[in-house]
Structure 1
């Protein structure tokens, strides 16, 4: 889905891959993921040029990924750089370490933020993402 792309953001490729994975879910898999996660993640990502892009992962109502602010309101908002998100998604950076070091900021349900790693693992079929 090309409307997920944002020029100058590595995160847009990762988000697009996540969306492809979600599109490949059967209805049962989608419902299971929603039941397991039960949350709406809003990702506010800033690139090297200080531009910001916002994506939403809705795993509370529909099991979809889209560009833009969460509708309805996000359960947790994660604020980070493009590099930090790429490192988290690839498993090169641990979410707790990113949070403690100030590379990752959250607003809302911080405990829900810990589930994002599992979402990335499930959707990408990786066991590396550690948020």
Structure 2
């Protein structure tokens, strides 16, 4: 059995939790662990049937958020309505990289969230 869960580093985990809730309807499935320095060391979010883990940056151990316009990974998220989800994410502050369009048997778009993570939204 395989289970792959993205674990994202962000510059402001509290703001990211709120943004993912607004843009994608995410809910906190594992409450934030707040470190002694007030950074979030771990939190888990549910996005429909998917989940992701997240933490504030911890550069002292090599955990850093991506630089603007330099995402090394694209996260793929299946959604019920690509156009609506894209519109909601952009209204919440995501950068639109590719408009929703029909391709390879579905509708897809690409956005970059305000925390530097690139996402491909896909409606099949």
TM-score (norm 1): 0.27
The answer to which structure has the higher helix fraction is: 1
Larger radius of gyration: 2
TM-score (norm 2): 0.28
The answer to which structure has the higher strand fraction is: 2
